[in-house]
Amino acid sequence: MTNPNAIDPDLMQFALDQATTQDSDIEYADVKWMRRSSRSIGVKNGSVEQNTQQNTEGIGIKILYGGAYGFAATNIMTKDAIGIAAKRALRVAKASATTMRNPIQLAEEPVHVDTVATPMKIDPDDVDLAETIAVLVDASKAADIGDDRIKARSASYDHWKDHMVLWTSEGSRIDQLISVVGGAVDTLSVQGTETQRRSYPASFRGDFSTAGYEYFKDMELVENAPIAAQESVDLLEAEQCPEQNDATVIIRPAQLMLQLHENFHGAELDRALDYEAAFAGTSFLKPHLLGELQFGSELININTDATHPGGLGTFFYDHEGVKAQNQPMVKNGKFVGYMTSRETAPLMGLERSNGTARSSAYDRMPLIRMTNTILQPGDYDYQEMIEETKDGFIFDTNVSWSIDDLRLSFQFGTEIGWRIKDGEITNLVKNPSYTGITPQFWNSADAVADKNDFRMYGTPNCGKGEPGQVMYTGHGSSSVRFRDVRIGVVQL
Amino acid sequence: MSNYDPKTAINQEEHGNPFETLQEGIDYLMQQAKAKQYQAQVNAISTISGTTRFAVNQVTQHTDLNNISFQLKLIKGKQQASASSTQLGEIGYKALFEQVESNLLKSPEIPFLQGLPQPRAGSNADLTGKDWIMEDRAEAIVSAVNTAEEMTDEIRLAGTASANTTYYRVVSTEGIDVQTSSNYNYFKVNAITGPADGRGYGQEELYWRFDQPDIESMAEEATQTAIDTVESKLLTKDAGDYEVVLGPQAVSDLMVYIMFGADAVGFHESNSYTSDRLGDQIFDDKLTIRDMPRDPHEAIAARTFDAEGIATKNRDFYENGVLKFIPYSSFFASKYLDDKDGATGHVIGPEFGWYGGGAMPVSSSITPGDRTTEEQLAEVEDGLYVKNFWYNRFTKRREGGLTGLTRNGLYHVKDGEIQGAVRNLRYTESFVKAFGQGNIISISSDRRKFFMSHVPSIHLENYHFSSVAHTKQQLE
- The helix or strand, by DSSP H or E, that contains position A271, with its residue range, turns out to be helix A269-272
Q: Out of A152, A274, A402, whose CB is closest to B404? A: A402
Distance in angstroms (rounded) separating the CA atoms of residues A387 and A262: 30
Query: pTM (2 decimals)?
Result: 0.94
Q: How many CB atoms lie within 10 A of CB A240?
A: 13
Tell which B residues from 302 to 361 touch A, by Cβ distance under 8 Å. Answer: 331, 353, 355
- How far from A303 is each of A292, A327, A340, CA to CA, in Å? 17, 5, 13
**Which chain A residues touch B58 with a CB distance below 8 Å?**
68, 99-102
Q: Which of A273, A405, A434 to mutate to test the interface with B (most CBs of B within 10 A)?
A: A405
pLDDT score recorded for residue B358? 87
A281·B390 Cβ contact <8 A: yes
Q: Out of A58, A98, A276, whose CB is closest to B138? A: A98
- The helix or strand, by DSSP H or E, that contains position A56, with its residue range, turns out to be strand A47-65
- What residue spans define the domains of chain A? 9-237, 240-487
Beta bridge partners of B169: B44, B179
A129·B107 Cβ contact <8 A: yes
A190·B56 Cβ contact <8 A: no
The domain made up of A9-237 has a fold known as PmbA/TldD fold (3.30.2290)
Distance in angstroms (rounded) separating the CA atoms of residues A39 and B83: 9
DSSP assignment of A402-455 equals EE-TTS-EEEEEEEEEEEEETTEEEEEEES-EEEEEHHHHHHTEEEEB-GGG-E
Q: Establish if B196 touches chain A: CB-CB under 8 angstroms.
A: yes
A51·B82 Cβ contact <8 A: yes
Burial class (CB in 10 A: 0-12, 13-18, 19+), B258: buried
pLDDT score recorded for residue A4? 86
pLDDT score recorded for residue B476? 60
Q: Out of A193, A278, A402, whose CB is closest to B392? A: A402
A151·B269 Cβ contact <8 A: yes
pLDDT score recorded for residue A204? 86
pLDDT score recorded for residue B15? 84
pLDDT score recorded for residue A354? 97
pLDDT score recorded for residue B339? 97
B59·A188 Cβ contact <8 A: no
Beta bridge partners of A30: A62, A168
Cis peptide before B18 (omega within 30 of 0): no
Q: How many Å lie between the alpha carbon of A401 and the closest alpha carbon of chain B?
A: 7
DSSP assignment of A151-187 equals EEEEEEEEEEEEEEEEEETTS-EEEEEEEEEEEEEEE
Give pLDDT < 70 ranges for chain A. 492
Residue A161's nearest CA partner among A185, A127, A135 is A127
Residue length, chain A? 492
pLDDT score recorded for residue A424? 97
Q: Establish if B48 touches chain A: CB-CB under 8 angstroms.
A: no
Evaluate whether A410 touches A460 at the Cβ level (below 8 Å).
no
Residue A194: strand, helix, or coil? strand
Q: How far is residue A93 CA from its own chain's centroid? A: 30
B64·A129 Cβ contact <8 A: no
**Which chain A residues touch B428 with a CB distance below 8 Å?**
411, 489-490
**Which chain A residues touch B61 with a CB distance below 8 Å?**
69, 71, 365, 465
Tell which B residues from 204 to 263 touch A, by Cβ distance under 8 Å. Answer: none
Distance in angstroms (rounded) separating the CA atoms of residues A63 and A360: 19
Evaluate whether B269 touches B257 at the Cβ level (below 8 Å).
no
Distance in angstroms (rounded) separating the CA atoms of residues A126 and B280: 51
Q: Which of A190, A270, A274 to mutate to test the interface with B (most CBs of B within 10 A)?
A: A274
**Which chain B residues touch A435 with a CB distance below 8 Å?**
426, 466-467
Evaluate whether A134 touches A140 at the Cβ level (below 8 Å).
no
Q: Out of B21, B138, B269, whose CB is closest to A96? A: B138
Tell me how many degrees the CA angle B332-B337-B339 measures, rounded to the nearest 5: 85
Q: Establish if B11 touches chain A: CB-CB under 8 angstroms.
A: no
Q: Out of B65, B96, B141, whose CB is closest to A99? A: B141
| Secondary structure in 3-state letters for chain B | CCCCCHHHHCCHHHHCCCHHHHHHHHHHHHHHHHHCCCEEEEEEEEEEEEEEEEECCEEEEEEEEEEEEEEEEEEECCEEEEEEECCCHHHHHHHHHHHHHHHHHHCCCCCCCCCCCCCCCCCCCCCCCCCCCHHHHHHHHHHHHHHHHHHCCCEEEEEEEEEEEEEEEEEECCCCEEEEEEEEEEEEEEEEECCCCCCEEEEEEEEECCCCCCHHHHHHHHHHHHHHCCHHHCECCCCEEEEEEECHHHHHHHHHHHHHCCCHHHHHCCCCCCCCCCCCECCCCCCCEEECCCCCCCCCCCCCECCCCCECCCEEEEECCEECCCCCCHHHHHHHHCCHHHCCCCECCHHHCCCCCCECCCCEEECCCCECHHHHHHCCCEEEEEEEEEEEEEEEHHHCEEEEEEEEEEEEEECCEEEEEECCEEEEEEHHHHCCCCCEEEEEEEEEECCCEEEEEEEEEEEEEEEECCCHHHHC
Mean pLDDT by 10 residues, chain B (476 residues): 82 89 97 98 95 92 90 97 94 96 96 95 90 92 96 94 95 96 95 90 95 96 96 92 98 96 95 97 98 95 94 97 97 97 92 70 96 98 96 93 94 97 95 98 97 97 92 65
